């Protein structure tokens, strides 16, 4: 990977729009050319971050998902921002769509109507032996086509063996915990889980699944 100069990074940050940041600085920046800059801050030891750069793992995970027909952002380049400390980044074309979390906040009925399809999408990931520890409605997008796509999949793993029941329960529980942290207790998680385990259920969610008012 090439090393981005301090001047180039400064230019990106100065002209771009910071969409996401944490205590360590910007994480996602929308650039003026339409691309997004993603910065992978790491808590790993520098030698390990250099050995397995996060940007490369992110790009490979995108390829894994694409191989299974799952829409992801298109990675155009990976690079070092500071190789000495293992700080890497990438440029990508953003995936058009709306996060399910934002959609639920704005139009809960729209998402509730998509619960069977959402359950099928999650099941498809698991059937492809994909374990995505950070899977939650903030990382799933509803695309203009009506299908779903994934973002922020750095911690995704392609397992050698089919996921066992414990891994599936843990993955679903992570989604439930995310809803609690985001104070989205009105999300019909039990209905989603029911659709997940009952593949042949195609009925629309009942009124009891609507958010509480």
83: CATH: 3.30.200.20
Whether 87 and 106 map to the same domain: the answer is: no
Q: Which CATH number is 187's domain given?
A: 1.10.510.10
Q: Within this chain, do residues 165 and 117 fall inside the same structural domain, yes or no?
A: yes
pLDDT at 209 over 60: no
* Burial class, 165, CB count within 10 angstroms (exposed 0-12 / middle 13-18 / buried 19+): exposed
* Percent of the chain scoring above 70 in pLDDT: 93
Q: Which of 36, 71, 93 is the last residue of a domain?
A: 93
Q: 90 with 77: CB under 8 angstroms?
A: yes
**Could you tell me if 65 and 105 lie in one domain?**
no
pLDDT tens digits, one per residue of 41-66: 887 777 777 888 999 999 999 999 99
- Picking from 40, 59, 93, the residue at the C-terminal end of a domain is 93
The rounded distance, in Å, linking the Cα atoms of 101 and 99 is 5
Nearest-angstrom CA–CA distance, 19 and 26: 8
Q: Are residues 128 and 205 in the same domain?
A: yes
Question: Which domain covers residue 55, as residue numbers?
Answer: 2-93
Give the angle subtended at the CA of 141 by the CAs of 184 and 173, to the nearest 5°: 45
28 touches 36 (CB < 8 A)? yes
Residues 59 and 110 in one domain: no
Q: What SS3 class is residue 39?
A: strand
Q: Which of 71, 93, 115 is the last residue of a domain?
A: 93
What is the distance between the alpha carbons of residues 17 and 5, in angstroms, rounded to a whole number?
Answer: 19
196 sits in the region (left: phi over 0; alpha: psi -120 to 50; else beta) called alpha
Is 36's pLDDT higher than 50?
yes
**pLDDT, average across residues 165-174:** 94
* One domain, residues 104 and 118: yes
Q: What is the mean pLDDT of the chain?
A: 90
CA-wise closest residue to 62 among 36, 81, 44: 36
Whether 88 shows a pLDDT value over 70: the answer reads yes
Q: Are residues 18 and 32 in the same domain?
A: yes
Supply the DSSP string of 1-21, one letter for each residue.
-EE--HHHHHHHHHHSEEEEE
Q: Specify whether 117 is located in the same domain as 196.
A: yes
Say if residues 70 and 139 touch (Cβ distance below 8 Å). Answer: no
pLDDT score for 210: 47
| Residue 25: other Cβ atoms inside 10 A | 11
* Other beta carbons less than 10 A from residue 53's beta carbon: 23
Bridge partner list, 71:
149
Question: Do β-strands 25-30 and 140-142 pair in parallel, antiparallel, or remain unpaired?
Answer: unpaired
pLDDT in tens, 102-111: 999 999 999 9
Let me know whether 77 and 164 are in one domain.
no
Residues 171/133, Cβ–Cβ less than 8 Å: yes
Q: Does the pTM exceed 0.75?
A: yes
Query: Are 30 and 114 within one domain?
Result: no
pLDDT (0 to 100) of residue 101: 96
**Do 125 and 172 fall into the same domain?**
yes
Q: 158 pLDDT band (50/70/90 cuts)? A: very high
Q: Residues 66, 126: one domain?
A: no
Q: How many domains does the chain have?
A: 2
Task: Round to whole Å and give the CA distance between 182 and 178.
Answer: 6
């Amino acid at each position: 990977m090439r090393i981005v100069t301090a001047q180039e990074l400064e230019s990106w940050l100065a002209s771009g729009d910071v969409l996401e940041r944490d205590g360590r600085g910007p994480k996602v920046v929308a650039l003026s050319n339409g691309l997004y800059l993603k910065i992978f801050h790491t808590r790993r030891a520098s030698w390990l971050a250099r050995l397995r750069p996060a940007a490369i793992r992110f790009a490979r995970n995108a390829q894994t998902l694409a191989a299974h027909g799952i829409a992801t952002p298109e990675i155009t380049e990976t690079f070092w921002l500071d190789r000495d400390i293992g700080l890497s980044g990438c440029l990508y074309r953003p995936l058009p769509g709306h996060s399910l979390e934002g959609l639920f906040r704005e139009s809960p009925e729209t998402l509730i109507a998509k619960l069977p399809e959402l359950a099928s999408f999650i099941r498809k990931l698991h059937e492809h032996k994909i374990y995505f520890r950070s899977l939650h409605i903030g990382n799933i997008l509803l695309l203009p086509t009506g299908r779903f796509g994934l973002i922020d999949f750095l911690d995704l793993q392609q397992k050698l063996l089919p996921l066992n029941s414990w891994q599936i329960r843990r993955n679903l529980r992570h989604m439930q915990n995310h809803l609690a942290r985001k104070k989205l207790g009105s999300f019909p998680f039990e209905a989603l889980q029911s659709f997940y385990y009952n593949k042949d259920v195609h009925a629309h969610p009942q009124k009891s699944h609507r958010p509480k008012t």
